[in-house]
Amino acid sequence: MSVNYGAPSRHSSHASYSSRYGATPRPASSAQYGAQQGYYGGGAPGYGSAPPAHGPPPGADPQLWQWFSAVDTDRSGAISVTELQAALVNGNWTRFDLDTVKMLMSIFDTDRSGTIGFNEFAGLWKYIQDWQNVFRHFDRDRSGSIDGAELSEALRSFGYNLSPILLSLLEQKYVASGPSDRYGPPPGITFDRFVRACVVVKTLTEAFQRVDTDRDGWVQMNYEQFMKIVLSAP
Amino acid sequence: MSVNYGAPSRHSSHASYSSRYGATPRPASSAQYGAQQGYYGGGAPGYGSAPPAHGPPPGADPQLWQWFSAVDTDRSGAISVTELQAALVNGNWTRFDLDTVKMLMSIFDTDRSGTIGFNEFAGLWKYIQDWQNVFRHFDRDRSGSIDGAELSEALRSFGYNLSPILLSLLEQKYVASGPSDRYGPPPGITFDRFVRACVVVKTLTEAFQRVDTDRDGWVQMNYEQFMKIVLSAP
């Protein structure tokens, strides 16, 4: 599965809006950074655990299979929301938000089984690595989190020219903590919330564009359409 | 501070829409249930912690002050996002989502200090208790979580007659885990996500109504208005 940054969904065509919203972000650098994947044990042989229900598919990347098996702690052959959330941590060791984990599941659970199989996992893994590169690129001050200015720059580079008011709302919504948290993690937007913020902007913008058929920047919609768009976004 | 269920914001007037969306939920029962507040130590005297920066205000409820002090673990005299998140757990002992904690902060941090002072805490505490009663009332099967049918019934009782499609989207968005999580928490919507789902429906509905000035169920809005409404919701 080939995945573009910030453009994980089915829709890859973009309108040339006056505000240029809707463009696809590009790869930033090749190094890994941001989120790390923790491997929590998971069925050591001879330790009372059930044997793996499934072996690697023929031709599977052995390293990728090893990662998959480490995340699949109950050896069911598929990764659940709970297993994925347990495996994903941010650079500051905070866990990914459930909403981000569910967003990742919904993007890559292409057969709608409710879990991530090995083939789906390959796409998910690459997607997270790609976002790590984006995150590293825009975390200019190497703080391990993204601030408002860095978020603005990232979105601008993806083609989303949001107004200062929208950027401020977005930052408030996705910032993990504030400067008032003396003993909390450093202020800023963690990796998982950065990915969610970008995907939310992309999803909402594309949904708006689909309603704005004459491309004048205005839409007419009823309550049902409005709620459907908003509740479908991550 | 007096707080109505599901109607914590400034806007208490409701239009008599054909679909009756926008009405204020009512108290359900008087018993407490759902979320519990854990008290994590918090500056035991003689244990190297700083003395309290602030004593209780004159006439303060001693029990409420004790709870406030227990949550204010750094003894700063105000509760941060991090402190509030550490103190709030669901009935199944999962932590409140950061987004729910930030939503609670934004509702009750009336002086916009970024923290919750003692007077603000009184309102927050009552609000959580009120929601616990609502949650208990609608958790008909006493499972400790809300399923789709229970969520529908709760929203209907609040006056939000959402379509089956919207109810399904809402359930998918706020459910904590699925039946596929064999070893995870039981499927369903936890207390904190139930509160967030209800407040999100309320916030979005009221925002839509404010744009729908002629009350015909249709709005015309531009990209900026649309994004502003969505990003302002919890």
Please indicate whether, in this complex, the C-beta atoms of B223 and A208 are within 8 angstroms of each other: yes
What the block records as the tokens of B25 is 């939920």
CATH superfamily, domain B62-231, is: EF-hand (1.10.238.10)
Partner-chain contact A218 B220, CB within 8 Å: yes
Please list every residue in chain B whose beta carbon sits closer than 8 Å to the beta carbon of residue A204.
226-227, 230
Q: Supply the pLDDT for residue A14.
A: 33
Q: Kindly determine whether residue A81 and residue B181, on different chains, have CB atoms separated by under 8 Å.
A: yes
- Rounded to whole angstroms, the Cα distance separating A36 from B151 reads 36
Condensed to tens digits (0 to 9), the pLDDT of residues A193-216 reads 999 999 999 999 999 999 999 999
The pLDDT score that the predictor gives to residue A35 is 37
Asked if the model's pLDDT at residue A19 lies above 60, the reply is: no
Which of B78, B114, B173 minimises the CB distance to A231? B173
> What integer pLDDT is reported at residue A178 of this predicted model?
57
CB B62 within 8 Å of CB B51: no
Q: Is A231 within 8 Å of B182 when comparing Cβ atoms?
A: no
Best probe of the A interface among B84, B112, B171, B180, by most A CBs < 10 A, is B180
- Residue-range domain boundaries for chain B: 62-231
Percent over 90 (pLDDT), chain A: 65
When CB atoms are compared, the residue of B97, B181, B230 closest to A204 is B230
3-state SS, chain A, equals CCCECCECCCCCCCCCCCCCCCCCCCCCCCCCCCCEECCCCCCCCCCCCCCCCCCCCCCCCHHHHHHHHHHCCCCCCCECHHHHHHHEECCCCCECCHHHHHHHHHHHCCCCCCCECHHHHHHHHHHHHHHHHHHHHHCCCCCCCECHHHHHHHHHHCCCCCCHHHHHHHHHHHCCECCCCCCCCCCEECHHHHHHHHHHHHHHHHHHHHHCCCCCCEEEEEHHHHHHHHHHCC
First to last CA, chain A: 21
Question: Do A220 and B220 make contact, defined as CB atoms within 8 angstroms?
Answer: yes
In total, the C-beta contacts within 8 angstroms joining chain A to chain B are: 132
Report the share of chain B in percent with pLDDT over 70. Answer: 73
**CA dihedral (B8, B14, B20, B23) positive or negative:** positive
pLDDT at A7: 36
Distance from CA of A126 to the nearest CA of B (A): 24
| pLDDT at res. B31 | 32
Question: What pLDDT does residue A30 have?
Answer: 31
Q: How far is B30 from chain A (nearest CA, A)?
A: 31
Q: Region A65-72: what's the mean pLDDT?
A: 96
A80 touches chain B (CB under 8 A): yes
Chain B interface includes A206 (CB < 8 A): no
Q: Which residue of A has its CA nearest to B82?
A: A184
Cβ distance A230 to B231 less than 8 Å, yes or no, reads no
What pLDDT, on a 0 to 100 scale, did the predictor assign at position A119? 93
What average pLDDT does this structure show over A25-54? 38
- How much is the pTM? 0.79
Residues 32-71 of A with CB under 8 A from B: none
pLDDT tens digits for B186-230?
A: 679 999 999 999 999 999 999 999 999 999 999 999 999 999 999
Residues of chain B with pLDDT under 50: 1-51
Do residue B183 and residue A74 have CB atoms under 8 angstroms apart? Answer: yes
Considering only A52-56, A157-161, B7-11, B230-234, which range has the smallest mean pLDDT? B7-11
pLDDT at A49 over 50: no
* Average pLDDT of chain A to the nearest whole number: 80
A176 to chain B: nearest residue by CA?
B98
pLDDT for residue A23 is more than 80: no
